[in-house]
Amino acid sequence: MTRVMPPCHAERSRSTWRGGNAVVATPRQVTSRFRAPRQARNDILRAAVITLSALVALACGPAQAPTGGQGVQSQLQPKRGGVFHVPVPGGVVNLNPYSQSGASSNIVYPTYDNLIGREEAPHTNWFELGQPLGPRLAERWERKDDNTYVFTLRKNVFWHDGQPFTAADVIHTVNYLKENRGKVTDAARVLNMASVEAPDPLTVVIKTMRGNPDFLVDDILLIEITPKHLADSGKTLETNLVGTGPFMLKDFDTTTGFRLTRNERYWTPGLPYIDGIVGHSMSDRGTMIAAFAAGTIDAMNPEDKVQLETVQNLKPDLNSDRFYGNYGYGLWFAIDQPPFSDIRVRKAVQLAIDRPDMIAKGAFGDGMANPPGGLGWRKGISIPQDELLKLPGYNPATRQQDIAEAKRLLAEAGYANGFATKLSYGSYLTNPKPIAEVAASQLNNFGIKITLVPLDRATNTQVERDNTYEMHTSA
């Protein structure tokens, strides 16, 4: 992994937005998951089998700051003022941070807050290990017992419309997610919550149904708090954005983008540094690269090696950051219906996928195989690469044995001549298409005839929500 810190050195996190930086990249990876029967999908989805990690890059335009090498972040000094221009792939569908249609993270992260967050260290990606949890809307918290958490909320925090933030807003958010299960994202994060109560306006007590040592990271960390009074007035999150974050919505358009302005009443004195953020809706990567080269946007995320090289050719003075991402792309299976309801078929596909070939063709040679359910580059949490590459389906030295076993399993399951199926993917993103194409080509050698089905953003979201696919490539 190589890293050259860019002048704007911004990373995706709430705290960096507070510091005046901005979202510049969504690191991508490749993984695979099973689609479970509808009543138990969340548990089964943890069992990823076919995994691949794509090395991608972060890019920022030149700025008046030291360039290249380690130590760039430490040399930069905050400077107030200015507007940061960012791309919004696919546009702003709506403003709901939990929308199944996919509200842009570039508009959600700067405007909403969570109870807790990560405390990032210099030269550390926001998703890497070793970053402790820190206070956000909750200034402190305590685990009373295995199932009881007490959060003390921050005083003098106000919503963008001037209303005070209280424990009632936290309870409202949890109830909203529970009541809209199956309709909004992140609803699963409240399923383990048995009760949420407020002994007083600045205290929240959450009791869980079962103990989970990772409750704060798995659930609380990723819940944006929304205002109760907005819902009480009959207004919806889809068309109204009232948060407690460092930036406030000025306006937005579903086709052109959005404008954010500094929240002068933000609960951290002196922040944010910049005056505002402008999001530009862009339908494809070519448009985004051209806008970056022309200076229309200040940062972008080349999602693969070819895109990065294109940007570097257009801007030779570019500074970039290359790192393994925290997103997984790969194959989902409909295991509640034939043929993937047969575990022998799923095992056969697991053995049939040629991971080195996938890395070469789907990740342009920059990547690594991930273990089932994990990220290969994460030390201390994943199987080391030298051990992983000894396992069936991963070991290049046993490739021929894996092929023979895959064919045997398919024949035993009644599919000696293979079968036909459909593999859908989100065409609005760069990574899923080459992964789907490589997978289809590899599985064709085993008689599995795949029809590729590209989906636009809205359709892809609906397909993933309703589980209406046979095979699917997604994160």
- Would residue 293 be called left, alpha or beta, if left means φ above 0 and alpha means ψ between -120 and 50 degrees? alpha
pLDDT score at 263? 97
Q: Is the pLDDT of residue 317 over 90?
A: no
**Worst-scoring range by mean pLDDT, 17-31, 58-72, 80-94, 278-292?**
17-31
CA-nearest of 472, 30, 43 to 218 is 43
Give bridge partners of residue 423 from the DSSP assignment.
452, 471
Query: Cis bond leading into 201, ω under 30°?
Result: no
Please state, as a whole number, how many other Cβ atoms lie within 10 Å of the Cβ of residue 182. 10
**Contact yes or no for 149/206 (Cβ under 8 A):** yes
Q: What is the pLDDT of residues 186-240, one digit of tens each?
A: 888 999 999 999 999 999 999 999 999 889 988 999 899 999 999 999 999 999 9
**295 vs 167, which has greater pLDDT?**
167
What is the overall mean pLDDT for the chain? 79
Helix (H) or strand (E) holding 178: helix 167-179
Q: Is the pLDDT of residue 77 over 80?
A: no
**35 vs 169, which has greater pLDDT?**
169
In the chain, the amino acid numbered 174 is V
Give the residue-averaged pLDDT of 434-445.
Answer: 93
Please tell me the distance from the alpha carbon of residue 191 to that of residue 201, in angstroms, as a whole number.
Answer: 24
Burial class from Cβ neighbours inside 10 Å (0-12, 13-18, 19+) for residue 454 reads middle
In the chain, the amino acid numbered 457 is R
**166 vs 356, which has greater pLDDT?**
166
Q: Is the pLDDT of residue 172 over 80?
A: yes
Give the residue-averaged pLDDT of 260-285.
Answer: 92
CB neighbour list of residue 24: distance below 8 Å, 6 or more residues apart: 6, 8, 10, 11, 12, 58, 59, 60, 86, 299, 300, 301
CB neighbour list of residue 10: distance below 8 Å, 6 or more residues apart: 16, 21, 22, 23, 24, 60, 299
Q: What are phi and psi of 454, to 5 degrees?
A: -75, 140
Across 275-314, b (16+ Cβ under 10 Å) vs e yields ebbbbbbbeebeebbebbbeeebbbbbbbbbebbebbeee
Give bridge partners of residue 426 from the DSSP assignment.
455
Q: How far is CA 340 from CA 273, 288, 337, 448, 470, in A?
A: 52, 38, 6, 12, 8
pLDDT score at 8? 30
pLDDT score at 17? 31
Please tell me the distance from the alpha carbon of residue 433 to that of residue 438, in angstroms, as a whole number.
Answer: 9
CA-nearest of 379, 403, 356, 299 to 10 is 299
For the chain, give the longest Cα–Cα distance: 68
Give the residue-averaged pLDDT of 399-410.
Answer: 97
Q: CA angle 461-467-468, nearest 5°?
A: 90
Q: What is the pLDDT of residues 83-102, one digit of tens each?
A: 999 998 777 778 999 885 65
Both tokens of 344, joined, read: 């022998």
pLDDT score at 66? 29
**Worst-scoring range by mean pLDDT, 48-62, 209-223, 349-363?**
48-62
Give this prediction's pTM.
0.71
CB neighbour list of residue 184: distance below 8 Å, 6 or more residues apart: 96, 98, 99, 100, 176, 177
Q: Is the pLDDT of residue 18 over 60?
A: no
Q: Is the pLDDT of residue 74 over 50?
A: no
Q: Is the pLDDT of residue 22 over 50?
A: no
Residue 408, helix vs strand vs coil: helix
Helix (H) or strand (E) holding 344: helix 343-352
Give the CA radius of gyration of the chain. Answer: 23
